[in-house]
């Protein structure tokens, strides 16, 4: 047994000897690697010395120049805006210069330094507190580093980092800091609010971009003190500002447009677009109408001043004018002031007669547009607004493009054209004018038939103003044949058929006029109940639409429409600007640089169709038609009358609304070769028995003849 144990122990021992590791001593290579690394470092160091020597010897002048260039900056100065003139060169909008105090914020200006600067400025010039808000006061309070530190100490951890422990953005943290400022801490005096007002102006300015600190009532003494303080207050200077003025008072009113102030600068809703086009945030821009539409021409080109700054960027060592800037282009209108005022006098006098006869209790005024149908040039945009509370009358040229009215029968030529273009009638087709009775709707009929039936052509339908002829076209567009007490199904698609045709003439859509802000009118597109069923009476409204008693249009749309008819279907965009003009050496009106040209927007219908429409509109005036009261004009004229029923709710008798009418007219002359077209709207009068629409239109055409033909 002992022998077996010994043999086993010997086997285990032998097996361990077989697997024991063999230790091999290798040569140590660490000293060689270190030597190699030292060699590489030495080589890089030598290369760096060589590069530094090269930069110093070969490019030293370049870097010296670059350092000096970094101490220079370019400042853009405001340029005067172009002026607006009437067709004969009479100034309507000009610039009035005045003394001003400016501040150009140096580079890298801290809030603390701006605070100190604001205090110094208010010590040398008189400042009014300018709409200082609580936010302005808090910004001012936090401009003091000690105050900022104090307010930041009030922040909770959640107001500095988010739930994941990430730091919030600086803007968010600052907003949270603002919330920590108490009411007591911003309880400033009136004098302190003046400092805040200046601080708000200069802290919000872009670096090296001048802003106006004071523009109104700057005295010579203040200008002198500013000059004396320029060394102590870097960036402060005296200069000149301008503001828009209107030598002809309210001529054409607000349609000329308005310009933002330097304090308000760019309108917030369009700021990004303007900045992308090179504007500064405090630049003045056209806000409305002509001033806005022609902004790029009127704005002028800014001057460029190159300033050399001290090394700290805080002071100006020298100034060199690189470009003097250029005043904006001048805008000359197609309208002559004298003729415009003649049309306004006609409207004022005739509307006064309506007022004296007690017919204007609910009427908003009277509006007319005079236009050249072959060029699109506008000769007059005239409106009289009637204040229903005070009874006061005021000029309202703007109302011709932004007020819309139900037009009545003046749309009938366009409805006939819709019938032709959609193939439901042809030529001078005969249709029966008869009372129309739809199930569940009131009887609709033409005024002149007295409830009887009569066959009539398209020409006669225009001459006598047949409502039923137009409704019969609408029936055909629906694919229906009229029968008494019939039920009309859902044909709401025909609303679009008629409206698309009207829009081709300019009704219910943009006319393309070169004035920003025109209205397109109103058109109801609400046809169904919430449960999907057709609203009761909507198909009756479709019939109303066919003869102008549903949608609303502006006077300028009506003018484009009648001009398209006069021009045999060539639709031109109305234009109020004749051209852009340069400035002479004295800054006055120079020569034409760019003439506005007629802009063709569409071609509508064919010549044989217009021959029929022209004949019908000629007979309206000259052969005993609905506009016979216009007969006797100095031109041979063609026209279409319109009357829209526009009842008003009666608070004293809800079951009996107040009957009111829109009295309208479209006309052109001479009939055989039109030179002038007119649209007229007299809204919400109690009756039109005196045919004031014909009388006023006649006077307007005669005034045009006397002014332009004699």
Structure tokens at 596: 């506005």
DSSP 621-637: HHSS-TTGGGTT-SS--
**Of residues 403, 408, 369, 371, the one with CA closest to residue 385:** 403
Catalytic: which of 197, 237, 363, 409?
409
Q: Rounded to a whole number, what is the distance in angstroms from the first to the last CA of the chain?
A: 154
Residues near 543 by Cβ (< 8 Å), separated by ≥ 6? 436, 438, 444, 471, 474
| Per-residue model confidence (pLDDT) at position 11 | 47
**Of residues 470, 357, 447, the one with CA closest to residue 643:** 447
Our answer to whether residue 426 is catalytic in this structure is no
- Asked if residues 558 and 412 have their Cβ atoms less than 8 Å apart, the reply is no
| Per-residue model confidence (pLDDT) at position 304 | 75
For 489, which DSSP code?
Answer: -
The mean of the pLDDT values for the chain is 88
Q: List, in sequence order, the alpha helices (H) in 279-319.
A: 289-293, 295-298
Domains of the chain: 339-569+604-709 (3.40.710.10)
Q: Positive or negative CA dihedral for 635, 640, 646, 647?
A: positive
**Cross-strand bridge partners of residue 304:** 76, 323
Q: Which single residue is written with the structure tokens 């008072």? A: 249
Record the pTM. 0.81
| Per-residue model confidence (pLDDT) at position 655 | 86
| Per-residue model confidence (pLDDT) at position 235 | 84
| Per-residue model confidence (pLDDT) at position 32 | 64
Distances (CA, A) of 173 to 153, 166, 167, 180, 644: 12, 12, 9, 11, 62
- Distance, CA of 271 to CA of 70 (rounded, Å): 29
| Per-residue model confidence (pLDDT) at position 663 | 97
- Distance, CA of 539 to CA of 469 (rounded, Å): 17
317: helix, coil or strand? strand
| Per-residue model confidence (pLDDT) at position 163 | 87
| Per-residue model confidence (pLDDT) at position 3 | 45
> Given 3-state DSSP classes, what are the helix, strand and coil percentages for the chain, each rounded to the nearest 5?
40, 20, 40
Q: Compute how many other C-beta atoms are within 10 angstroms of the C-beta atom of residue 64.
A: 10
> Which residues of the chain have a pLDDT value below 70?
1-33, 52-75, 307-322
For 438, which DSSP code?
Answer: B
| Per-residue model confidence (pLDDT) at position 38 | 73
- Distance, CA of 315 to CA of 234 (rounded, Å): 6
């Amino acid at each position: 047994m002992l022998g077996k144990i010994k043999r086993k122990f010997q086997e285990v021992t032998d097996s361990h000897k077989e697997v024991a590791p063999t230790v091999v001593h290798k040569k140590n290579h660490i000293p060689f690697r270190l030597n190699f690394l030292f060699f590489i470092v030495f080589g890089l160091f030598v290369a760096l010395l060589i590069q530094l020597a090269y930069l110093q010897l070969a490019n030293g002048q370049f870097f010296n120049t670059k350092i000096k260039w970094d101490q220079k900056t370019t400042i853009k100065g405001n340029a005067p805006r172009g002026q607006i003139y009437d067709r004969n060169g009479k100034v309507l909008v000009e610039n009035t210069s005045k003394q001003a105090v400016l501040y150009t914020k140096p580079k890298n200006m801290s809030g603390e330094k701006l605070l100190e600067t604001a205090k110094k400025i208010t010590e040398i010039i008189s400042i009014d507190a300018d709409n200082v808000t609580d936010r302005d006061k808090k910004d001012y309070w936090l401009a003091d580093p000690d105050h900022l530190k104090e307010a930041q100490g009030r922040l909770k951890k959640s107001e500095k980092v988010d739930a994941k422990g990430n730091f919030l953005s600086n803007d968010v943290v600052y907003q949270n800091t603002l919330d920590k400022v108490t009411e007591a801490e911003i309880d400033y005096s009136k004098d302190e609010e003046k400092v805040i007002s200046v601080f708000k102006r200069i802290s919000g300015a872009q670096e090296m971009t001048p802003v106006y600190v004071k523009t109104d009532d700057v005295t010579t003494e203040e200008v002198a003190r500013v000059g004396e303080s320029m060394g102590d207050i870097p960036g402060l200077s005296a200069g000149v500002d301008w503001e828009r003025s209107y030598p002809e008072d309210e001529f054409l009113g607000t349609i000329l447009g308005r310009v933002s102030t330097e304090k308000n600068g760019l309108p917030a809703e369009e700021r990004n677009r303007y900045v992308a086009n090179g504007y500064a945030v405090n630049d003045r821009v056209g806000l409305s109408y002509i001033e806005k539409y022609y902004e790029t021409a009127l704005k002028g080109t800014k001057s460029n001043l190159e300033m050399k700054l001290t090394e700290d960027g805080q002071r100006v060592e020298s100034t060199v004018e690189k470009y003097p800037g250029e005043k904006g282009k001048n805008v000359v209108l197609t309208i002559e002031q004298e003729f415009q005022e003649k049309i306004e006098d006609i409207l004022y006098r005739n509307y006064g007669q309506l007022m004296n006869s007690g017919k204007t209790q609910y009427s908003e005024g009277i509006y007319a547009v005079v236009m050249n149908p072959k060029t699109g040039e506008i000769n007059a945009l005239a409106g009289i607004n009637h204040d229903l509370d005070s009874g006061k009358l005021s000029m309202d040229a703007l109302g011709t493009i932004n007020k819309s009215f139900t037009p009545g029968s003046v749309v009938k030529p366009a409805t006939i054209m819709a019938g032709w273009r959609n193939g439901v009638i042809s030529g001078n087709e005969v249709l029966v004018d008869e009372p129309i009775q739809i199930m569940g709707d009131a009887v609709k009929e033409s005024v002149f038939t007295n409830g009887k039936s009569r066959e009539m052509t398209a020409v006669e339908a225009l001459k006598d103003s047949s409502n039923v002829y137009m409704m019969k076209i609408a029936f055909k567009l629906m694919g229906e044949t009229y029968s008494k007490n019939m039920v009309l199904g859902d044909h709401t698609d025909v609303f679009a058929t008629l409206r698309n045709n009207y829009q081709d003439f300019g009704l219910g859509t943009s006319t393309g006029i070169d004035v920003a802000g025109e209205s397109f009118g109103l058109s109801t597109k609400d046809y169904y109940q919430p449960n999907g069923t057709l609203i009761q009476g909507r198909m009756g409204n479709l019939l109303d639409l066919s003869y102008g008693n549903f949608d609303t249009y502006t006077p300028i749309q009506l003018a484009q429409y009648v001009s398209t008819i006069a021009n045999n279907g060539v639709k031109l965009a109305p234009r109020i600007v004749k051209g852009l003009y340069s400035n002479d050496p004295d800054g006055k009106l120079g020569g034409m640089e760019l003439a506005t040209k007629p802009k063709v927007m569409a071609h509508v219908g064919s010549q044989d169709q217009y021959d029929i429409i022209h004949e019908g509109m000629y007979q309206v005036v000259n052969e005993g038609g609905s506009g016979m009261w216009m007969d006797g004009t100095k031109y041979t004229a063609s026209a279409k009358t319109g009357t829209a029923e526009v009842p008003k709710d009666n608070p004293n008798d809800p079951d009996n609304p107040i009957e009111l009418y829109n009295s309208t007219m479209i006309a052109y002359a001479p009939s055989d070769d039109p030179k002038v077209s007119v649209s007229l709207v007299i809204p919400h009068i109690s009756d039109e028995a005196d045919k004031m629409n014909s009388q006023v239109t006649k006077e307007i055409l005669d005034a045009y003849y006397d002014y332009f033909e004699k």
